[in-house]
Structure 1
Amino acid sequence: MLGLSPRKAKSPDTIEEDASPPPPTADVAVGDNTVIDPDSGVKRGLKNRHLSMMALAGIIGPGLLVGSGGALSNGGPASLLIGFGVIGIIAFSIMQSLGEMTTLYPGGGSFISLAERMVDKAFAVAVGWNYFLIWVFVLANEYNVICSIFQVWSDTVPLWGYFLIFWTAFLAFQLLGVTAFGEAEFWLALLKLIGLTAFFIFAIVYAAGGIIGQDQALGFTYWRNPGAFNGNGFRGVATVFVFCSTFYAGVESVAIAATETRNPGKAVPQAIKQVFWRIIFIYMGSAFFFGLTCPADAPNLINGTTKVLQSPMTVAIQNAGFRHGSDLINVFIFLTCLSACNSSIYIGSRTVLYMAQNGQAPRFLGKTDKRGVPIWAILLTNAVGALSMMNVSTGASKAYSYIVNLSGVSTFLVWASISFIHIRFRSAWKTQGRTREELPFKSLWYPWNAYFGVFANCFLALVQGWTTLSPFDAGTFVDAYILLALFPIIYFVFKFVKKTRYMRSYEIDLDYGRRTDLDSTGMVPEDRRAMEESGENEKGIPYWRKLAKNF
């Protein structure tokens, strides 16, 4: 059971800036045994399995399956592994911070609402709009890819025609509500896992020389020729970081979905722990097998003259001799696009919904209908997906590269903000006399992982565009760095206009929206009972067992 404690009184100088929702009231029942959240108006229609599958495979889409071709071409197989590995470590660090806070405060908007409470309302506005930008850029990428696939199958319909068809279809499906979204995401995510597993098996057989008609084992041929770094050295590695950050974007989305989950106290920690396996199996596995079976100098990986972005999977299967294998991969990519488009619209719309309800976006975007569907937020998010139509004039490949740069920088900024919010939370927790044992989910290696998240993401946000300096390209330089300027602009403009103030540790409200289903030891009762029944206690548990609990 999730309990919400009454809101504590604010000091006079903070009341004016308080845009938090009023104290919660009784849940509103709806027809299918789910309820409408009284604070946000959304429907609690997501089951534990829905959230778990979203965390594991929900946002896998053209970014990973298609965009990794550009990363492989720029940096080679070694750069791809290094990029996925480094960003994976950062993502794991971010999820540890997010897990500790979201488990304790599973309310609407999660880290965006916590940004206002722990730091400053202006900071929350900057974080929220950057996070919204990530998802509209990712959505534009996905529309870009899905339209390009259909252009290959039939060019009788123009690109803009395919866009309008899919735009309308995705909008209609989102308006069905969160239960339909959750069920569709579960099965589509499962299909993505099955498809990736099948490709991994194919890659092992192909590398071992087991394909019929194959003269010799492939082995690590492409690591030697064209080379582990494809002749680009560290420059290639730096370029790959931006691509990889876009692929990882979405690991934090379980925090946004928490409010629409029937049992967030159980589902959120479970989903967050599964991110570790997502990093190992999906991202690191894909990086390894893509680099193993696809040459980094394959001409189809980056080809701005065509309207189709080729996947390393397609190139690998074609090179293995399966002439029609590319059609199969295109079908698989199409299925992932269905899932990824749905997820992008969902996350983007909920982000702007919760921002509007907290006074950080126009109020009309915070409205929901009687079924708990945020119609205006969905319309806005889907409408901005029209950015994908820049591929009509620039070509799909160039359009993809432009949008990836924007979403990659936003990801670094948002992740750094999550780590900073965690640091502020722990500072307030300590200042107000709370103990670590009271936390139901404890972040590993605090404070080192939180400080690492701040500095690593800030560093990558600064260096990700350095390749545009030599030779200097004004267009790509602006594309790489414009959002670095946008974040402080939003922050200082809002701060100046609304006269917001930076919260001090002793005045941060740590009780509103906090889980109250903890016993005197600070543990969730069911966890305490399970430990006692097994004859274990915290002091008697080996370190490796404590570590495993976080995975």
Structure 2
Amino acid sequence: MASSLPPIYDTEKDSSSVEKGHSPNDHEYVVQTEDRFHLDAQDLDHVQRKLKQRHVQMIAVAGTIGTGLFLGSGSALAGSGPAGALIAYIVVGSVAYSALCCIGEMTSHAPISGTFPHFAARWVDPALGFALGWNYWYSNAVSIPVEITAATILLTFWDSNLSHQAGYTAVVCVLVCAINIFGVRWFGESEFIFSIIKLLLITGLILVGLIIDLGGGPDHQRRGFQYWRNPGAFAGAGLEPNHIGLDRFLGILNVLVQAGFSFQGLELTAVAASETENPRRNVAKAIRRVFWRILIFYVLGIIITGMLVPFNDPDLLQGSGTAAQSPYVIAMSRAGIKVLPHIVNACIFTSAFSAGNSFLYASSRVLYGLALRGQAPKIFAWCTKGGLPLVAVAATSCFAWLSFMNTSSGAVKVFNWFVNLSTVAGFFSWLGMHVTYLYFYRGMKAQGFDRTKLIYHSKLQPYLSIWGIFWVIIFILVNGISVFWSFNASDFLTSYINIPLFFALYFGWKIIKRTKIWKPMEMDFVTGIPSVEETEHPIEPPKNFGEKVFQLVF
């Protein structure tokens, strides 16, 4: 807790810290000599760095890509038309990238457990860290059954017998939990394989979509941008049918929130930094590549999507939850391609499974970080000798079994409320990353740190953070905008209950613990943070052509 008394500073290293802080250029950090401005020694991690470079790079490129991208793009197209969906994906993509730049730079300085909730507690206000941590844990934990349910629904593409859904759900739940309980190395290897499948799928869909659009399919029909002209580039939300321009604008606003779900989870590489080899170097490389991932996979993908199917196509609106509603599969079927839809559905199934796997990993590590800082029961900070936070993983795994709610018709409505709540909670996480970075930026500058010497920093800061804060606030406010045209109490609550819930967490912890916002010169940039020499090891140069290719790709 910050004090109102003036701090005392020293330029000597903190001899009480087990992992001493050195800047990348070996200059001394400004270190407070008063214990009241230090964090506790319990901030030191007990996890082990077992994720390799290839794991981190593939997780960064495709880690949390799930049904939100493959099937959600079709819903975005139906909701706002090809041009409206493109605008929404560009705006949301820029905000997601700015959030990643924020957390990436902070992680480059402090690759430790707890990630951005801990950064918020350390450099903004302990109460903000508490609120963000539990908010992020909740949003990811609830997303686990969402993706598991999506995976089991995808199986109905081949087996339409709904009585089998409970069995499929049980198998998927067991596999997702087992991978995480076996340890981070198993998680890394599984995500490496799943990410390769997702990359091949995305690349294949874009290429096949482009070929079909140019008339290379069996029907030899050249589509071009004809659907941008008829039925049009923009679709209305149906809320203001007498005011076409306003209705189209509302359609874009609705899709902004929908697109947000597709982008959430990009920060997984930073969450995994405490368990990553050479974390500063690997996280920096991963973040630089994410820009191209957003541009190619999301933006280019939505452009191709809008060229393949008109936004008013009845198959696009069927909401089956399988590959049958994917605009790519619809285009393939219309073009006379028979086998590919089955391959696409199989790959989307692995994507949903992978996303559930990743959300379980991310939420369990944040819960572990909260426990380390005394903001969650200490039992969740217990680790095995191999560095696995087993209790945190086991507790979070319980959420996977909520996916059985979708096998009961009475519980489906409640389950859908969870889905809506998780999306808004994800926006609060983005808001927290941007706000925390502005404080981090101000504190580093005040204490004389040269952030340009970090292994990763963005030249566009702090303007990226300001851009992100502006748009995330809009995302949160327009999340349930359609409810004001046809008011429904349950829909209103699921759209906006997260706002009072988040502030209840913040002010509750603030009042109970009497925390204060850290002043720039009170921020601790040293305690418990490993030096560059302790985390970054020399990279052996490639010895042959194969190793050069491997280094280029990963």
Tell me the SS of whatever aligns to 2:369: helix
Question: Deviation of residue 150 (structure 1)?
Answer: 2.1
* Distance 1:319-1:387 versus aligned 2 partners, 3 A rule: farther
- The answer to whether the 8 Å contact 1:307/1:396 transfers is no
- The answer to whether the 8 Å contact 1:109/1:255 transfers is no
Residue 427 of structure 1 corresponds to 442
Residue 213 of structure 2 corresponds to 207
Residue 47 of structure 1 corresponds to 52
- The answer to whether the 8 Å contact 2:121/2:127 transfers is yes
Count of equivalent residues: 502
- The answer to whether the 8 Å contact 1:132/1:351 transfers is yes
The reply on whether 1:4 has 2:20 as its aligned counterpart is: yes
* Distance 1:307-1:200 versus aligned 2 partners, 3 A rule: closer
Question: Deviation of residue 513 (structure 1)?
Answer: 4.0
The reply on whether 1:177 has 2:180 as its aligned counterpart is: no
- The answer to whether the 8 Å contact 1:307/1:397 transfers is no
**5+ unaligned residues in a row in structure 2: which ranges?**
1-17, 23-28, 238-247, 542-554
Residue 289 of structure 2 corresponds to 274
1:355-394 alignment, distance < 5 Å:
355-393=370-408
Aligned residues: CA RMSD: 2.8
Residue 128 of structure 1 corresponds to 133
Larger mean Cα displacement after TM superposition, 362-371 or 152-161: 152-161
Tell me the SS of whatever aligns to 2:272: helix
- Scaled by the length of structure 1, the TM-score of the pair is 0.85
Residue 544 of structure 1 corresponds to none
Deviations 1:380-403 (A, max 9, x none): 222213343343345999788644
Residue 310 of structure 2 aligns with an amino acid whose one-letter code is: P
* Distance 1:400-1:230 versus aligned 2 partners, 3 A rule: farther
- Scaled by the length of structure 2, the TM-score of the pair is 0.84
Q: Which residue among 123, 135, 139 is the counterpart of 1:118?
A: 123
* Distance 1:482-1:300 versus aligned 2 partners, 3 A rule: farther
- The answer to whether the 8 Å contact 2:212/2:331 transfers is no
Residue 95 of structure 2 corresponds to 90
Deviations 1:494-538 (A, max 9, x none): 1122222221111111122446449xxxxx9999xx9xxxxxxxx
**Distance (whole Å) between structure 1 residues aligned to residue 410 and residue 211 of structure 2:** 35
Question: Deviation of residue 260 (structure 1)?
Answer: 0.6
Q: Which residue among 471, 476, 483 is the counterpart of 2:491?
A: 476
* Distance 1:411-1:286 versus aligned 2 partners, 3 A rule: same
- The answer to whether the 8 Å contact 2:41/2:527 transfers is no
* Distance 1:185-1:247 versus aligned 2 partners, 3 A rule: same
- The answer to whether the 8 Å contact 1:54/1:254 transfers is yes
- The answer to whether the 8 Å contact 1:308/1:396 transfers is no
The reply on whether 1:231 has 2:236 as its aligned counterpart is: yes
- The answer to whether the 8 Å contact 1:131/1:410 transfers is yes
- The answer to whether the 8 Å contact 1:345/1:382 transfers is yes
Residue 527 of structure 2 aligns with an amino acid whose one-letter code is: Y
1:443-462 alignment, distance < 5 Å:
443-462=458-477
Residue 258 of structure 1 corresponds to 273
* Distance 1:299-1:4 versus aligned 2 partners, 3 A rule: farther
Residue 140 of structure 1 aligns with an amino acid whose one-letter code is: P
Question: Deviation of residue 351 (structure 1)?
Answer: 1.3
Residue 42 of structure 2 aligns with an amino acid whose one-letter code is: P
- The answer to whether the 8 Å contact 1:151/1:157 transfers is no
**Distance (whole Å) between structure 2 residues aligned to residue 452 and residue 225 of structure 1:** 34
- The answer to whether the 8 Å contact 2:148/2:353 transfers is no
Question: Deviation of residue 3 (structure 1)?
Answer: 6.5
The reply on whether 1:348 has 2:363 as its aligned counterpart is: yes
Question: Deviation of residue 238 (structure 1)?
Answer: 0.7
**Distance (whole Å) between structure 2 residues aligned to residue 436 and residue 453 of structure 1:** 20
* Distance 1:437-1:297 versus aligned 2 partners, 3 A rule: closer
**Distance (whole Å) between structure 1 residues aligned to residue 389 and residue 150 of structure 2:** 26
Residue 240 of structure 2 corresponds to none
* Distance 1:302-1:128 versus aligned 2 partners, 3 A rule: farther
Q: Which residue among 69, 77, 87 is the counterpart of 1:72?
A: 77
Tell me the SS of whatever aligns to 2:133: helix
